[in-house]
Amino acid sequence: MRAIDIHTHYAKGESWKPWVREWWERMNPKDMWLVENYTPENLIRYMDEAGVEYAVVLAERAPQVTGDTPTEEVVEFCKGHPRLLPFANINPHLTCYPYRDMERYIEMGVRGLKLHPVHQRFWITDSVLYPVYYICQKHGIPVMVHAGSSIFPGASDRYGDPKLVNEIAADFPELVLIMSHGGRGFWYQDAQFVVRHRRNVYIDISGLPVRRLLDYFPQMERLKEKFLFGTDWPGVPMRETIEAFMALPISEAAKEAILYRNAARILNLEG
């Protein structure tokens, strides 16, 4: 069965703090060969072995927590490789003109925007970001938001409440919003409530123990059109995560939708 990994991290360069790589190695030592030899060709080869057709590659500008991986570097990494889909990142503390930045990133060919309020310490409901949401809605570009906790030093969980995503969804009903990690830790039920009632909001399951997914989201089968597969690689392996997902007691239709079809639709990969 085909898969799209909607949540992988750019794993190259000195922009990551050393402890982040150490954490990756503890969590997923088998894949450190790829972190140490991180090229588009090697990543695609790894995806082929896992059965992943496309992978989103995320930028992250969080110098106080994980490091500073700029959008430009991620776009350059993905250039010429249509199976690698770059997502921009905006940290409103590091720019005076987030709207202009997003305009430029769209011109560069990004396929989405990732916001990480928990690592970057801002409220996604801040009015400075509303022009960014407007231009993403206008261009049909999804906005991914870290929704849930983070154990990383320097993170602040108060910014990760899914109810904040619900506010943005109400104000921008045509904007596709993705809640990464589905409210991990405190807010699984809240996240499931949001996707049940907001047609433009989705949950990606990245970074969650797959065997517990139906405990966290008991309505996953009924809401199969609202979930997206993601791993959080390189902290989590692709192939083993897909194998665990395939073992869940949900329908084949739900597995196909979550692994591939939903992401293909919102990323305009169909047809």
Contacts of 158 (CB under 8 A, 6+ apart): none
C-alpha angle 142-184-146 in degrees, rounded to nearest 5: 30
77/72 Cα distance (integer angstroms): 9
Q: Calculate the alpha carbon distances from 117 to 149, 174, 241 in Å.
A: 10, 22, 26
Q: What is the pLDDT of residue 15?
A: 81
Q: How confident is the model at residue 14 (pLDDT cuts 50, 70, 90)?
A: confident
The CA R_g of the chain, rounded to the nearest whole Å, is 17
Tally Cβ neighbours within 10 Å of residue 210: 19
Nearest residue to 147 via CA among 200, 192, 86: 192
Query: CA angle at residue 111 from 256 to 83, to 5 degrees?
Result: 60
Side chain identity, residue 169: A
Integer Cα distance of 124 and 21 in angstroms:
28
pTM above 0.75, yes or no: yes
- Percent of the chain residues topping a pLDDT of 90: 97
**So what's the pLDDT on residue 36?**
94
Query: So what's the pLDDT on residue 166?
Result: 98
- Which has the higher per-residue pLDDT, 13 or 210? 210
The pLDDT, as a whole number, for residue 270 is: 72
Give the pLDDT confidence score for residue 119 in this predicted structure.
Answer: 97
- Average pLDDT of the chain, as a whole number: 96
Q: What are the tens digits of pLDDT across the range 39-83?
A: 999 999 999 999 999 999 999 999 999 999 999 999 999 999 999
